[in-house]
Chains A and B, each alone.
Chain A
Amino acid sequence: MKTTEPPAPVPAESGITVTKADVPAGAPPEEKKAGGVLNVFSHGILVIWAIMVALPLLWAVMTSFKDDASIFGSPWSLPDTLHFENWARAWTQAHMGDYFLNTVLVVGGSLIGTLVLGSMAAYVLARFEFPGNRFIYYLFIGGMSFPIMLALVPLFYVVNNMGLLNTIHGLILVYIAYSLPFTVFFLTAFFRTLPSSVAEAAFVDGASHSRTFFQIMLPMAKPGLVSVGIFNFLGQWNQYMLPTVLNTDEDKHVLTQGLVQLAVSQGYKGDWSGLFAGLVMAMLPVLAAYIVFQRQVVQGLTAGALK
């Protein structure tokens, strides 16, 4: 930047610090004008889309504090008083608390299982040559592009026959199985990028294969595990199709199911304010976590697409 200019901040993510002193002098004035028009235009569009994204979410938060009459009478008016009792009612009477707990249990178990089993399989596939290696790898990868619903019809009966239908641990096993394709795909690529010399040195020093894996390779793979962990956490927390088919017992419902169930039954009971409170309750923790861990979340979710 020239010191004679007012400090014009360059947005951080453009990552540009190079000064091109000769270029502006030669640029024709019309170009500059066009740039200005484009700038106003682009800001206008960007602001409109930001409003379109944020407004429905803010509307939901606002509505969760209103009473039923004003939800129907004047959907856009601010709440007269903050009806916190909506939230209390949703948490206890509408069982949001139970659904929350179920979701935490299912996602907690699935996430740990997915990371442990996924990294074990990926490590072996990335680091060892053996007959069938490629076949197993593509068997896992293939699961990413097949329509899950096709498998769900027989899966329902497989799970039922094993006595795992409508159980938390049954759901955990199924979540793990369906999270493995992407996890193995991502972590195999990641393990391949790690240097092999450290593992070999450890092995020469007498560490077993599994000790080498758990004490040396896993800590080295931490950045990859964080990315794929966030990806799986959001995918499993937000899962709707798998529990809808395999978890039909109301006591075992996870959040997404519980909310939909609530919406259907509210059609008769008419506690819309409680439902909105439940909706916001399910929304806010994830949004808050996203805002705090923004960089890691974006990295985790876009990691697969950029590979």
Chain B
Amino acid sequence: MAARAQIGVAVMQHGKYRFIVGFLAVPLGLYALFVVWPFVQSIYYSFTDWTGLSPDFEMVGFANYARMLDDDIFWKSLQHSLLFALLVPVVTIGLALFLSFMINVGGRRRRGGPVISGVRGSAFYKIVYFFPQVLSIAIIALLFAFAYNPDSGAINSFLRAVGLDGIQPLWLGDPDLALWAVMAVIVWSTVGFFVVLFSAGMASIPLDLYEAALLDGANRITTFFRITLPLLWDTVQSGWVYMGILALGAESFAVVHIMTTGPGGPDYSTTVMVLYVYQKAFRDGQAAYATTIGVALLLVTLAFAAAVMKLGRRERLEY
């Protein structure tokens, strides 16, 4: 601490430990009781046959894990969760990079103005794009569950209105389409957040870099890949991890739980790990098995975060 060098520090030592304990006790106690302790417990329970319905249980070693490896629905949920963690962030961030580049660099060149500029109305676009971010994912999921309704939903009736009567998908009712329809909702709701985030990053990139590149004959697409993307890489990477964790956890739980039939259907085509944990624990009375799947979800989450950080590692660019 920088404060250490100062004279005041010696005085600050007075009554220090009593103060530290007094200030930390409540937050740390609450956190330990409601967050840390249940985490530890759930890893322990994954080695038992606890149902959750009665307080009695016995240790069963790795029986739950063996059962999990034989469970077809588990493998399906794992597959879908991986798709959520990999595809949803890539599409979301790709789309957001594209849109924020358009907002910040796509403007008409004005004589006497800077070599690159944002489009007119860029503030307006950013406000509108951010709308879904302030709404609950549960409300968005409900809204889209109606929009996807094959007969009276907004999407199919729009298709009919523009003369595409032949294309009337069942959306959430079609096992081949349901997962994509659900993932699209997360992408829709999160793109705006990243547009705003990346725009802030792009605004801090010095204009001379663009000027030099454009004078050298580079076009704007080249400047995106050679200048914008490398300089934004840190933000992109941490955004990717953040989004992946959400797509593995709370967000995918809300959309799948609210939107799909079953939930997780049709025919397990949309079930994800976080939903399977919930169903095993609170619907089927198999709490121990649920925590086993939860441990698998924990491993997937940590592996995902580590992989993105490692694959994405580049030399940090100074500018």
Contact = CB atoms under 8 A, between A and B. Distances in A.
B215 A26 contact: yes
Interface in A1-17: 1-2, 5, 8-16
Contacts of A279: 139, 142-143
| Interface residue tally on B, bucketed by range | 35 or more
Interface string A204-222: 1000111001000000000
Contacts of A99: none
A153 interface: yes
A76 B8 contact: no
A23 B211 contact: yes
Nearest to A176: B30
Interface stretch (A79-87, A90-98, A138-146): A138-146
A306 B274 CA distance: 28
Contact of B131 (A31, A36, A57, A146): A57
Contacts of B120: 9, 11
Interface stretch (B65-73, B97-105, B173-181): B97-105
Given A11-B107, A18-B114, A39-B107, A234 B134 contact: yes
Given A52-B188, A76-B161, A245 B131 contact: no
Contact of A153 (B107, B117, B290): B290
B207 A158 contact: no
Contacts of B241: 145
Contacts of A57: 131, 143
B291 A158 contact: no
A287 B131 contact: yes
Given A16-B117, A35-B108, A149 B99 contact: no
Contacts of A159: 34
Contacts of A201: 8
A306 B4 CA distance: 28
Contacts of B20: 124, 128, 130
B311 interface: no
B298 A146 contact: yes
Contacts of A147: 245, 248-249, 274, 294, 297-298, 301
A168 interface: no
A155 B34 contact: yes
